[in-house]
Amino acid sequence: MSLLTIRNLTVRFATATGSFTAVDGVDLSVDRGEVLAIVGESGSGKSVSMLAVMGLLPDTATVTADEMTYDGQDILAMTPAQKRKLIGREITMIFQEPVASLNPSFTVGFQIEEVLRFNLGLSGKAARDRALELFRAVGIPSPEEKLKSYPHQMSGGQCQRVMIAIAIASNPRLLIADEPTTALDVTIQKQILDLLMSLQEDYGMGLILITHDMGVVAETADRVVVQYKGRKMEEAEVLDLFENPQSPYTRALLSALPEHATGDRLPTVSDFFTEEAAR
Amino acid sequence: MTPVTPVVEGRAIVRDYHVPGSMLRRAKTVRAVKGIDFSVQKGKTLAIVGESGSGKSTLARIIALIDAPSEGELLIDGQRVDIAASRPGPALRSKVQMVFQNPYGSLNPRQKIGDVLTEPLVINTDVPAAERRDRARAMLQKVGLMPEHYNRYPHMFSGGQRQRIAIARALMLNPSLLVLDEPVSALDLSVQAQVLNLLADLQDEMGLTYVFVSHDLSVVRYIADEVMVISEGEAVEQGPREAIFANPTHPYTRQLFAATPVTDVDAIRARVARRKAARQAVA
């Protein structure tokens, strides 16, 4: 059974020059224990649709959907109090810039214990022990000392591990990761992706991975949704997507990968759209 | 046959950064580049690959005559260049130009595109104003923009177009060497392909030599003739692209290759099968 179901999601932003549609009639669903990748370039609406689920969009945004349900409960009809019970506990999120996501004025230990206090009602030693346990689970070296560190004293990769520890603190059933490795080096990217995948398997979480990187998709996803300019272009099992892409946009994206270059020139997305138009 | 003089050559280039001390901390010296040798022939591309903190951008800034090396020699067209001893003159500045990573940061938001492009000519040459304008318009066309873009401001352009403008600015002085520091890593995949194609076309047309700094191995594999892998200020591996990609010998290079995601269908099939097997084992 699906964990999160979204039907016909539209997000509009009121701007000085009129309304701008960032997400246009997108359908999505993710099952328990499934890894769904949402892939697209900047402006494709891939982040906005998930921010809409989390209720993190600014007031200028209008969100409409025929259906937005989590485990059978209607998210759109929820009161703020009901939403607070769900968001940040059952559904959690990590972001692209791990260093910017943490508060520079507090130790990372304080920040993870804060989450444990608010969401799980743990305090004092119980919170400290659980924080330590979580730091170990995400592979932070010498966790006792690191709890006392400030974000600027840690590397980008370690900060992302802290963010992941905070995100899994409440044993969520759905984790949304928005470009979690884009700001990191490739060797660190591999470590973080491996960590996310092993946590996903151990905890049986649903994982939505938002990315622009086809390489990340290839290494992690079960199923893939391709978005372009706010619309869903294609949805497929990961192998089908790479083996036999149906939409011209997906084909264009895949052939624009430098490793797929044939001859001297890289095909570009606009080449594909002209080709399609000529047909 | 006499060997051809390389466009740029570095001999045991070293760069130290001094971190000043304070009452509680002793001053220290960080060696960011630890004696690197390289040379690039005309019309070729040397790719410098490494992770953050490896010293690749420091090396790029030395080659682009922005920073002076602490030790070692830099030769441009066989001539020894020492910018610490004397400021490089217009002739030298015209030979070497640089394109930076972030086209949002490298263009002045209050400067029209025409002024962006003509400024290098104003500073380094005495070309008359009318000709400067003509050259700028011609250059806009060459990099795939329109002559009517001349009077617009940077914010009116997309990221890919801005990177084209930055490339156009670098080419205004007809340089022989272009240092490109992560020129496509801020761009979307489809735009990245367009900019890489443009760079390849310009290289063929103008006989340009590139030093291309990147962390992305798939881009390097596409664009480079020679590859230098650098880690902690040292060139751990150096050689022709085919050789390095076919048979990486240094452990760090291998680690870098292993960490790079593969989009190969067989690899995906294997991963999906592994995951399925793991799930069935649990169930």
Question: Which of B191, B218, B272 has the CB atom closest to A257's CB atom?
Answer: B218
Label residue A276 by pLDDT band (50, 70, 90): low
Q: How many residues does chain B have?
A: 283
Preferred mutation among B189, B241, B245, B260 to probe A, highest tally of A CBs within 10 A? B189
Choose among B214, B245, B241: nearest CA to B226. B241
Q: How confident is the model at residue A104 (pLDDT cuts 50, 70, 90)?
A: very high
Q: Which of A47, A184, A212, A268 to mutate to test the interface with B (most CBs of B within 10 A)?
A: A268
Contact A96, A178 (CB under 8 A): yes
pLDDT tens, A11-63? 999 988 889 999 999 999 999 999 999 998 888 899 999 999 999 999 999 99
Q: For the complex shown, is ipTM > 0.85?
A: no
- Residues from chain A contacting residue B216 (CB–CB below 8 Å): 258
pLDDT given at position A278: 54
pLDDT of residue B186: 79
d(CA B13, CA B31): 11
Q: What is residue A269's predicted lDDT score, i.e. its pLDDT?
A: 65
DSSP sequence for A41-82:
-TTSSHHHHHHHHHT-S-TTEEEE-SEEEETTEESTT--HHH
Residue of B nearest to A44 (CA): B188
Average pLDDT, rounded, for chain B = 91
Asked if A216 reaches chain B (Cβ–Cβ under 8 Å), the answer is: yes
Chain A nearest-CA residue for B269: A239
Please report, as a single letter, which amino acid is at residue A105: S
Under a CB-based contact definition with an 8 Å cutoff, are residues B34 and B69 in contact?
Answer: no
B256 to chain A: nearest residue by CA?
A187
Percent of chain A at pLDDT exceeding 90: 65
The pLDDT of residue A224: 96
Measured between beta carbons, which residues in chain B are less than 8 angstroms from residue A33? 279
CA distance B245 to chain A (A): 12
CB B263 to CB A259 under 8 A? yes
Residue type, A224: V
Out of B52, B215, B263, closest to residue A218 by CB:
B263
Q: What is the pLDDT of residue B2?
A: 56
Angle between helices B159-171 and B129-142 (to 10 degrees): 130
Give CA angle at A9 (A8, A11), nearest 5°.
Answer: 140
Whether B194 sits inside 8 A of A190 (CB atoms) is no
**Structural tokens at position B4:** 């051809």
Task: Pick the residue from chain B with its C-alpha nearest to A261.
Answer: B222
A265 touches chain B (CB under 8 A): yes
Q: Output phi, psi for B252, to 5 deg.
A: -65, -40
Alpha carbon A62 to its chain centroid, in Å, reads 21
Query: pLDDT band at residue A260, thresholds of 50, 70 and 90?
Result: confident
User: What pLDDT, on the 0 to 100 scale, is given for residue B283?
Assistant: 62
- pLDDT computed for residue A235 by the predictor: 95
Q: What is the share, in percent, of chain A residues with pLDDT greater than 70?
A: 94
| Pick from A41, A185, A215: CB nearest B261 | A215
Asked whether the beta carbons of residue B190 and residue A252 sit closer than 8 angstroms, the reply is: yes
How far apart are alpha carbons B126 and B90 in whole angstroms?
Answer: 11
Is residue A206 exposed (0-12), middle (13-18) or buried (19+ Cβ within 10 Å)? buried
State residue A272's pLDDT score. 61
The Cα–Cα gap between B133 and B128 comes to 9
A155 touches chain B (CB under 8 A): no
B263:A266 CB<8 A = no
User: A157-176: per-residue pLDDT in tens?
Assistant: 899 999 999 999 999 999 99
Distance to chain A for B222, nearest Cα, Å: 6
For range A91-115, the mean pLDDT: 93
Alpha helices in chain B (DSSP H): 56-63, 90-95, 113-124, 129-142, 159-171, 189-206, 217-223, 241-246, 251-259, 265-282
Of B200, B259, B279, nearest to A189 by CB-CB distance is B259
Which residue's entry shows tokens 């990748």? A37
CB contact under 8 A, A253 and B192: no
Q: What residues in A contact B269, CB-CB < 8 Å?
A: 239
pLDDT bracket for residue A264 (50, 70, 90): low
Low-confidence ranges of chain B (pLDDT < 50): 1
Quickly tell me which residue has 């191995």 as its tokens: B217
pLDDT of A270 above 80: no
Question: Residue A186: which of B200, B215, B223 has the nearest Cβ?
Answer: B215
Helices A269-278, A248-255: inter-axial angle, 10-degree rounding: 140
For residue B123, the model assigns a pLDDT of 92
pLDDT at site B52: 82
Task: Kindly identify which residue of chain B lies nearest to residue A189, measuring between CA atoms.
Answer: B259
Q: Please give the pLDDT value at position B190.
A: 80
Q: Write out chain B residues lying below 8 Å of A243, CB-based.
A: 265
Q: Cβ contacts (< 8 Å) between B271 and chain A: which residues?
A: 218-219
Task: Give residue A17's pLDDT.
Answer: 87
